[in-house]
Amino acid sequence: MSGISIIGTGNMARAIGTLAVAGGNAVEVMGRDQTKADELVKALGGGAMTGPWGAVPAADVVIAALLADGVVPVVAEYGDALAGKVIVDIGNPFNATFDGLAHGDETSIAQEVATVAPAGAAVVKAFNTIFSQVLANGRPDVFMAGDDARAKASVAAFIEGVGLRPLDVGGLQMARWLAGMGLVTVGLAGNGIGHGGFALGVSEFAG
């Protein structure tokens, strides 16, 4: 299938799914709650379909739109069903006070996903610096990180195909710094900007 599979049925699944349908992609939604998956594909329209929880996703690019502490267990649960797939982690593992990450300094959700992912799967971090309502209304830059160039090219093609700009920040070890950028975004929303209707981006300046 050319398009994406989304594991999860929440805010980000809806936002990314909406963009994907608008960009002409086939969209598959897999939810642990089938009723929520059914409701989401109905809302998405555009021929979006549900897939059975835990089965082999129809698309090569699989967005794990799950709460951060659910990403590693769900990828482990899917196991070989994700062999050969590009797994996109969008999670922000914030601590309870939203001023630090919920894991140690030497790792990230994306790197932990890579340790449980099956053979041939590649992990890409992306989308975590953007609020869902911005994806619904704006054209933000999408920062991404990963070790596999072909996997990143697939994710970049999807991002470009929905009208956004992918910005590669480097290898998967950069994923925790992207999580840090997510933290900065939340800090700005609560302080300097004061609302969530913005996204971090890059402006280039000549000379």
Ligand X SMILES: NC(=O)c1ccc[n+]([C@@H]2O[C@H](COP(=O)([O-])OP(=O)(O)OC[C@H]3O[C@@H](n4cnc5c(N)ncnc54)[C@H](OP(=O)(O)O)[C@@H]3O)[C@@H](O)[C@H]2O)c1
Q: Which residues bind ligand X (CB under 6 A)?
A: 8-13, 31-33, 36, 65-68, 70, 73-74, 90-92, 128, 130-132
In 3D, which of 115, 110, 103, 97 has the Cα closest to residue 171?
110
Interatomic CA distance for residues 52 and 164, integer angstroms: 29
Q: Which is nearer to ligand X, 73 or 187 (CB)?
A: 73
Interatomic CA distance for residues 167 and 164, integer angstroms: 10
Q: Which is nearer to ligand X, 73 or 100 (CB)?
A: 73
Q: Which is nearer to ligand X, 82 or 205 (CB)?
A: 82
Least spacing, CB of residue 202 vs ligand X, in Å? 18
In 3D, which of 52, 55, 18 has the Cα closest to residue 38?
52
What is the β-pairing status of strands 165-170 and 141-146?
parallel
Least spacing, CB of residue 89 vs ligand X, in Å? 8
Least spacing, CB of residue 46 vs ligand X, in Å? 19
In 3D, which of 71, 171, 156, 86 has the Cα closest to residue 121?
86
Least spacing, CB of residue 149 vs ligand X, in Å? 24
Q: Which is nearer to ligand X, 76 or 153 (CB)?
A: 76
What is the β-pairing status of strands 61-64 and 86-89?
parallel
Interatomic CA distance for residues 114 and 56, integer angstroms: 18
Q: Which is nearer to ligand X, 50 or 128 (CB)?
A: 128
Least spacing, CB of residue 148 vs ligand X, in Å? 21
CB 93 within 8 A of CB 118: no
Residue nearest to ligand X (CB): 10
